[in-house]
């Protein structure tokens, strides 16, 4: 499966909502062990919320090695690659370390409620 990100979400990949759109399209394919290519041609701006939702949450139920084997990112510029790399590292830790996940979730909840 090839997915043209610019066509799907536009030239700015920044929001959680846009990331979720990508996730919803690729998650079933990856679970079925089908290769997915996310083509970033024409995309100019990236932010971690987009990658957290599009890619990071895939690590909840797909092993990192399988994700590396099945998912490619042609035309992703150096800034996008840097952000993506950090998101993947954070997600690996979040989904593999229950104590870390609990602490992160607590901080997020406190920030959301203003505690």
Give tens-digit pLDDT for 14-54. Answer: 999 999 999 999 999 999 999 999 999 999 999 999 999 99
- Provide the sign of the torsion angle of the four alpha carbons 68, 70, 74, 76, taken in this order: negative
Range of the structural domain that residue 63 is part of: 2-113
pTM, two decimal places: 0.90
Give pLDDT, residue 48: 95
> H-helix or E-strand containing 70?
helix 64-70
Q: Are 48 and 84 in contact (CB under 8 A)?
A: no
10 three-class SS:
coil
Strand partners, 37: 2, 72
**Number of folded domains that form the chain:** 1
Name which of 46, 38, 47 is nearest 5 in CA terms.
Answer: 38
């Amino acid at each position: 499966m090839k997915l043209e990100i610019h066509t799907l979400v536009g030239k700015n990949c920044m929001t959680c909502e846009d990331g979720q759109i990508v996730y919803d399209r690729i998650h079933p394919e990856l679970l079925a062990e089908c290769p997915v290519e996310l083509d970033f041609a024409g995309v100019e701006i990236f932010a971690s919320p987009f990658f957290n939702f599009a890619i990071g949450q895939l690590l909840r139920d797909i092993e990192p090695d399988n994700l590396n084997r099945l998912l490619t990112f042609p035309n992703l510029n150096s800034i996008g690659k840097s952000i993506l790399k950090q998101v993947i590292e954070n997600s690996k830790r979040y989904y593999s370390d229950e104590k870390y996940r609990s602490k992160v979730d607590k901080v997020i909840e406190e920030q959301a409620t203003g505690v």
